[in-house]
Amino acid sequence: MTTILEKTAGLVAFVRTVDAGSFQAASRVLGSSPSAVSKSVARLERRLGVRLIRRSTRQLGLTSEGAAYYERVAPLLRALDDAEDTVRMADKARGLLRVTTPVELGRTLIASWVQMFLAQHSEVRLELSITDRHADLIREGYDIAVRMGELSDVGLLARKIADLPVVLVASPAYIERKGSPSSVEDLSNHDFVCHQMLGRPYPVTLTGGRRVVPNGRLGTDDAGAIRQAALAGAGIAHLMQFVVQDDLNSGRLVRVLGQVSMPAIPVHVVHAFGRQVPVRARLFVDFLSKQMAALTRAQRDI
């Protein structure tokens, strides 16, 4: 009869190797040697009777069996780490924190904030995925997801950390050429750099629920590209204020219909830990919440 210790032999070495990307990197995490880690994984492969990792002189890659095995066992190993985490000091964070965030927030804000968090918590390693694709937290092994807009995740716990304002902006060159809209109705006479969603322009939502569908010859699903096009004078852009705050401060862009109220975009953090949230995740969520609060205060003061 195979014992539990025999079944789990090599499991830690395998998961750490996949997470770190190499035997050498995994050995540093485990406090071992690359050869010892490699041999441990090889013994696991022999016991399972399958090849889990493709080895080459340049890189490691998972076989299909290895990917399926990793998908099952990696969450179990993280759960063990988290179980230890819950009985440690409440302010001591350690281990790998995997976070996924939308491109708009990730590139402009979160990527520039995380070094402050890492400086405060020296035993935390952070993996930040910046993508507009909604990752499956449980299947893909993410600890935290930052979501913008209304939530559609079922079965996940959520905490709102911000309501971020949106603005209509245009370049001074566009205003000089086309004039500034004097009313919401006047927007139909202006060119927009349209935010495309599933092949259609995303509507501009006003407070009270009224929606205006923008018209324009240029559409894209990337906020950075919308901003660049607006700076070039292509049209009016509907963007989150933090994306264009520096441009507004410098005069490269100006507010359009600033007197018209538009609802802010809610930002949530979601996770699947239940009530036993690991210290590293709890402290990171608190950190993001404080950074978002400072950002919204600064925008209100402008």
Say what the pLDDT of residue 239 is: 93
CA distance to 163, 169, 171, 221, 279, per residue, from 253 (Å)? 22, 6, 4, 20, 42
* Contact indicator for 224, 106 with CB cutoff of 8 Å: no
Residue 238 belongs to some domain of the structure = yes
Q: Report the predicted TM-score, pTM, of the whole model to 2 decimal places.
A: 0.67
Averaged pLDDT of the chain: 85
Instruction: Measure the CA–CA gap between 254 and 172, rounded to whole angstroms.
Output: 7
What is the maximum span of the chain, computed from C-alpha positions, in angstroms? Answer: 82
Same domain? 43 vs 192: no
Instruction: Measure the CA–CA gap between 221 and 226, rounded to whole angstroms.
Output: 8
Instruction: Show which of 24, 56, 85 is a domain's final residue.
Output: 85
Same domain? 188 vs 249: yes
Same domain? 55 vs 174: no
Same domain? 206 vs 61: no
Residue 74 belongs to some domain of the structure = yes
Lowest mean pLDDT of 19-28, 136-145, 266-275, 293-302, name the range.
293-302
Looking at residue 141, what DSSP letter applies?
T
Which is more confident, 277 or 100? Answer: 100
Q: How many domains, the chain? A: 3
User: Nearest to residue 167, comparing CAs of 90, 249, 262, 102?
Assistant: 262
226-282 confidence digits (pLDDT tens): 999 999 999 999 999 999 999 999 999 999 998 888 899 999 999 877 767 888 888
Same domain? 60 vs 209: no
* Contact indicator for 9, 44 with CB cutoff of 8 Å: yes
Say what the pLDDT of residue 9 is: 63
Domain containing 65: what range?
A: 4-85
What's 64's domain CATH number? 1.10.10.10
Same domain? 203 vs 73: no
Give counts: helices (H), strands (E), the chain. Answer: 12, 15
Residue 90 belongs to some domain of the structure = no
144-186 confidence digits (pLDDT tens): 999 988 887 666 788 999 999 999 999 999 999 999 998 999 9
Instruction: Measure the CA–CA gap between 133 and 289, rounded to whole angstroms.
Output: 22
What's 188's domain CATH number? 3.40.190.10
Q: What is the mean pLDDT of residues 2-15?
A: 70
Residue 202 belongs to some domain of the structure = yes
